[in-house]
Amino acid sequence: MASRSRQRSSAVAVWLIACWFSSPLLAQPWAMDRAGVPQWENAFNFSNDVFTFVRLKYTSVGGRYWRHGGKWRIDYPESDLNFSFRLQEMTSLKVDPNGKVLEITDPDLGNFPFVYLIEPGELRFSQAEVISLRTYLLGGGFLMVDDFWGENEWFNFYTEIKRVFPNREPQELPLSHPIFNCVFPLDEKPQIPNVGLGMESRYHGRTWERWDAQEVHYKGLFDDNNRLMAVICHNTDLGDGWEWEGYNEYFFREFSEKKAYPLGINIVVYALTH
């Protein structure tokens, strides 16, 4: 049975990769009001049965983004829209073309199985957010955390997530975990840099943003039944891989196409099927 399952997964991955390389995205006209991302419509009978990419809004302290609403909005909306488009294009999922931004305490949070939180290096949860996030994750929700670098930002996030789960410890996910191969098989844990560093990496090979962030980590939080509730992507930036796909061909081919989109799709498909 396990062998048949692996064969089916491999067949699906081959088909998706074939579709990927024949993708007409770069030849399509872009609508300016969607930050350059093509629009699509789902059939009426799928109106209540679509996947929605949900970005969480939170409070951050300090830094240059404070006056602009906080770091929660970095890469928005291009990152979310591009990823939603690719997910619609590359899988059989029906995907909301617009996505949503929700407060962590929003009563509608429980209606969405997947949420995305970016740049948590300066986040501060309120007590109400701590309770709401704990309830959401223990109730079956899934959290993806992305784009924070170095030990200081890790310490800040770790401190805050321990308020949510004082008795649970983030665990490093091995490359053999299904999240790295459930659709697209990956032969490494990818480190995706920001777009500027990624473009320069062809000359010096460096993909880390800080000297204390050279090793990429993908950690998980598990519930009492060993269900993966959260994947924490540290020392990497999948969001830039989604946001800047049309900006530079080298960055797109090297980081968006090979790493950021495949892993992002793996994470969402894993979250929806486990």
pLDDT digits (tens, 9 = 90+) for 109-153: 999 999 999 999 999 999 999 999 999 999 999 999 999 999 999
Query: How many separate domains does the chain show?
Result: 1
How many other β-carbons are positioned within 10 Å of the β-carbon of residue 210? 12
- Give residue 49's pLDDT: 85
Q: CA separation (Å) from 218 to 50, 172, 223, 260?
A: 27, 6, 17, 13
The yes-or-no verdict on residue 190 having pLDDT over 50 is yes
Give the CATH number, domain containing residue 221.
Answer: 3.40.50.12140
Q: Using CA atoms, how far apart are residues 57 and 215, in angstroms rounded to an integer?
A: 28
The mean pLDDT of 155-159, rounded to a whole number, is: 98
CA torsion 143→255→192→233, rounded to 10°? Answer: 20
With b for 16 or more beta-carbon neighbours within 10 A and e for fewer, the 223-262 pattern comes to: eeeeebbbbbbbbbbbbbbbbbbbebeebbebbbbbbbbb
Range of the structural domain that residue 46 is part of: 2-273
Q: Would you place residue 14 in the very low, low, confident or very high pLDDT band (cuts 50, 70, 90)?
A: very low
Q: Of all residues in the chain, what percent carry a pLDDT higher than 90?
A: 76
- Give residue 63's pLDDT: 54
Mean pLDDT of all residues in the chain? 87
Global model pTM greater than 0.75: yes
Phi, psi of 145 (to 5 degrees): -110, 135
Please give the structure tokens belonging to residue 144.
Answer: 């993806």
Q: Using CA atoms, how far apart are residues 65 and 104, in angstroms rounded to an integer?
A: 19
